[in-house]
Amino acid sequence: MIAKYYTITALTNLHVGSGDNNTSVIDKQIQRDATTGLPCIYGSSLKGALKEFFDNESQKENPEITKAQVKKIFGTEEQTAAYRFLSADLLALPLRSNVKPYYLATSASVIEEFKNKLKDFKIGNIDENIPTTVNNPMIYEPTDQHRLVEDFETFRSLSIDTYPTNLLQFMPDKKKTIILSDEDLKRYCNDSHLPVIARNKIGENNNLWYEQLLPRQTILGFAVLFNDEDETFNAFNELLTNESIIHIGANATVGMGFCKIRSLTI
């Protein structure tokens, strides 16, 4: 078995609904990991979104991937899928700041889960220490300017000498990295902090509902498992990561769920 790891960056706000009935103020909640409670995208939802993208690409006049390859990857009613898609777990959540448009927040547990997944599926074995924080968040790039990140204003500096380059390679810019305690990250991922928008159905029966979102620039990561690194994989990987814009979740017509995917080279 071969495994490859990919990251998803939300270019627009993202809603992948849990589908669960609930009695809270938020009618349509996002999917969450049952163990950690952090946002995620279930493997079945991710596979469905990718299958729709690859189906559309295979039907173009000069397709970069064939219909037969798409059937091999995703399967059919008669043919078992050759690829396995694991759930996409939260890696980083954007937080507002007065010195940058946003910082990307992660935590020790998120980094440890990322490290363990790479090791368990033999994608890579990173020999770097996981930065941990209990009270004040850790942040790179000291500054004389009074800095706020959401409701944090006291920080510990993460020096360039101790910045875990490989462990945090899912971060696009180390100068936007902020490492929170696990409790603080969960707090910013709870129903009181994630964005919620009001939407209504336009038509015969108007109906107002509230929908939970992951904000744009959120980063999630997932692994894909398969048997052969052959022409099918080359086509899959090239099309998936070659500046393609892929829609995941609901509400494409109102500009939600547009993402970019990149491969991590460990």
Residues 6 or more apart whose CB falls under 8 angstroms from that of 213 comprise 13, 14, 15, 30, 194, 195, 196, 197, 256
Positions in the chain whose pLDDT score sits under 50: none
Amino acid in the structure at residue 249: G
pLDDT (0 to 100) of residue 206:
66
Would you list the DSSP string of 231-258?
A: HHHHHHHHHHHSS--EE-SS-GGGT--E
pTM: 0.93
Q: What local confidence, expressed as pLDDT, does residue 14 receive?
A: 94
Identity of the amino acid at 193 = H
What are the phi and psi torsion angles at 264 (to 5°)? -95, 125
The pLDDT of residue 102: 96
Per-residue pLDDT tens digits for 91-110? 999 999 999 999 999 999 99
Query: pLDDT at position 226, please?
Result: 96
